[in-house]
Amino acid sequence: MSLSFRLRIALWSALLSGTVLIVFLGFTSNMVRKTMTEEADYELKGFTANMVLTAQAMEEGGLLQTQLVGTLSAERAEVRLIELAEIEDSDVSIVGRSPLALEDSLIEGNQIYKEPDWPEPGKEIEWKPGGSNETVEYKDKTWRVMCRTFDGYKVRMAIDLKEIRDELSKLMRRYFEALPLALIIIGFGAWWIAGRVVRPVQKIIATAENVTAQGLGARVQGVSSKDELGRLAAVLNQMMDRLESSFSQMKRFGADASHELKTPLAVMQGKIEAALQDHGEGSEHDTVLVDVLERVGQLRSIIDSLLMLSRSDAGSLIIEKQKLDLSHLMSEIVEDAEVIAAEEGISFQSENGSSGFIVNGDERLLRLAISNLLTNATKYNISEGGKIISELRKSGNAYQISISNTGPAIQDEIKEKIFERFYRVDTARGPNKSGFGLGLSLARVIALAHGGELNLSSSEGGTNCFVMTLPQ
């Protein structure tokens, strides 16, 4: 399924925006995590200092451990004292020393408190006054741990990061809850913007679709912006002006030329016929005059056809409609066509339907169209054993005139070209039988003028079938 340009813009905008928002969420979450972790480190620094000051103020003895832990639990339940010990010589610098090396600086019995199950500090941890931090997993919880020396003590404390995780989870949950609504708003916004953007394009498309040989006056209206679309509309209108002018000149020339040539040809035909009457039969001059008369008749036929096509292009083809018995009309036309086919050695089979096949049409034009089809069926037949089948039948609310003939197959690439003016293919019965390439074009114009159509129905098995459809 092909999506419209407007819908594709909306979907791509929503997809791109969603990607950007998700990336922004990851960046924001990382920044929030980093900031809250720094706050936890700052709190641990204060807790460790307070713990050392509290230990100094309390009495020595076994009761100190309980007092320390109780004091800490009363203050912050998420903060844990892991280790507290007095350093043997507080004047000795211990910065940069590992936790194992620092054990040698402790006086026996000066280990004030130590959590027994807590994992030892990592190798990268250094005991220093400013403190060294790490993140540790302990008892299904994530802790932020600080190892620090302060005022002759080494202290190690931890704070639960559950609050940070909860805040991040809440942030992401609310973010993802709002994300669909944001994408919908963005999608509808992009749809609305794309609609305004493609509106001039739709006007251009609608105008171009309405352009026909009879409707070259269509112009793009309502696109007067100074941007690229406005320029496109202006250029298209200018192009249509030039086309309309050129086409009008061409149609006027064709109509005028055809009209002007009819009179001298009629005069020539009259004089040739008069000359034939003045000469005796069988003379050499008679043969020449008869040939010239035949050529003049062909020229008059071409001019009449061109004049009719020009009028059709201009939308001024005159159709004198009347009630016609199509079956009777077909019988008359077929009767003449059978004589010509018999002279060419072509068998003719016809089924002209029954009386009562009434159409509202121009008898002269319909006779011309059907005769052209039958003439083509004779010209483009095979040289030996040729056959023509003519059939009139009713199909729904229309009548179909089917004319089939044996002959060379018509290739798919020229199935529409054969209806173009002056387009000719090689005949099977010799060059002397070739036409001028106007018969099919004129027949289709007449069918369309009556609200019907003419098409090449099939071309296979050595048989070509043309079908003209006329409404009742």
Given the structure tokens 């507290």, which residue do they identify? 84
Pairing of strands 347-351, 387-395: parallel
325-348 pLDDT tens trace: 999 999 999 998 998 898 888 999
Q: Is the pLDDT of residue 188 over 70?
A: yes
Cα torsion 50, 53, 58, 60 to 10°: value is 120
Would you place residue 241 in the very low, low, confident or very high pLDDT band (cuts 50, 70, 90)? confident
In DSSP terms, 364 is beta-bridged to: none
Tell me the pTM. Answer: 0.50
Which of 64-68, 138-142, 292-296, 371-375 ranks highest by mean pLDDT? 371-375
Q: Is the pLDDT of residue 104 over 70?
A: no
Contact present, 296 and 268 (Cβ < 8 Å): yes
In DSSP terms, 80 is beta-bridged to: 158
pLDDT of 348 reads: 92
Contact present, 341 and 303 (Cβ < 8 Å): no
Would you place residue 108 in the very low, low, confident or very high pLDDT band (cuts 50, 70, 90)? very low
Q: Is the pLDDT of residue 42 over 70?
A: yes
Q: What's the rounded mean pLDDT across residues 185-211?
A: 81
CATH of 228-313, one of 1.10.10.10, 1.10.530.10, 1.10.287.130, 1.10.1660.10: 1.10.287.130
pLDDT of 357 reads: 87
**Cα 324 to Cα 362: distance, rounded to the nearest angstrom:** 8
Which of 126-135, 162-171, 191-200, 315-324 ranks highest by mean pLDDT? 126-135
Would you place residue 105 in the very low, low, confident or very high pLDDT band (cuts 50, 70, 90)? very low
Would you place residue 283 in the very low, low, confident or very high pLDDT band (cuts 50, 70, 90)? low
First to last CA, the chain: 38
pLDDT of 107 reads: 42
**Cα 124 to Cα 113: distance, rounded to the nearest angstrom:** 23
Which of 136-140, 171-175, 237-241, 373-377 ranks highest by mean pLDDT? 373-377
**Cα 383 to Cα 371: distance, rounded to the nearest angstrom:** 21
Task: Evaluate whether 228-313 and 322-471 have a shared fold.
Answer: no
Would you place residue 94 in the very low, low, confident or very high pLDDT band (cuts 50, 70, 90)? very low
Q: What's the rounded mean pLDDT across residues 155-183?
A: 85
CATH class of residue range 322-471:
alpha beta
Q: Domain spans of the chain? A: 5-167, 228-313, 322-471
Radius of gyration of the chain (CA): 50
Chain center to CA of 306: 41
- The mean-pLDDT minimum among 67-71, 108-112, 183-187 falls in 67-71
Given the structure tokens 């006054």, which residue do they identify? 129
